[in-house]
Amino acid sequence: MDAEINLLEYLLREINHRMNLVTRNYLSNKEITMSRFWVLNKLSQDEAITMKQLQSQLLLSSSTLTGLIDNLVADDLVYRWRDDKDRRLVFLKLTEKGAVLLNEILEYRTKMLKKIVDMCGDSIDIGTLNKNLKTLLNASDDAVIF
């Protein structure tokens, strides 16, 4: 069983690594980094999110995240504002330009995955694969070991 789990961990890590390599190459043509992509992707999941929430979700230091956000704001990809009632709270959301860019990147990644799956032919049932990966993802919420 341990050998199978080790293989699963390796395969998930390698697929992620290869997806990131190809994505990083695509992003370089768009003049955006992987870190900026991950920020845009996280921001797309909520209408608005605080800097503190984003920092917690991305596991980035405050100074690193502030630098990323400063650049994204300067490039008109992210909108930042302070709460009127509590000025300590800084909110973020994607601008239209940021949403368009993120959509282009996600479409590219989807096309890349589709090509990979198509190359496998009938040897992969994408429905079963998705179901199994979703089961693993859901179980991972409760299985964190410290």
**30-74, pLDDT tens digit by residue?**
889 999 999 999 999 988 899 999 999 999 999 999 999 999 999
pLDDT at 103 over 90: yes
Contact 105, 27 (CB under 8 A): yes
CATH topology (fold) of 2-140: Arc Repressor Mutant, subunit A (1.10.10)
Query: 118 burial class (0-12, 13-18, 19+ CB within 10 angstroms)?
Result: exposed
pLDDT at 146 over 60: no
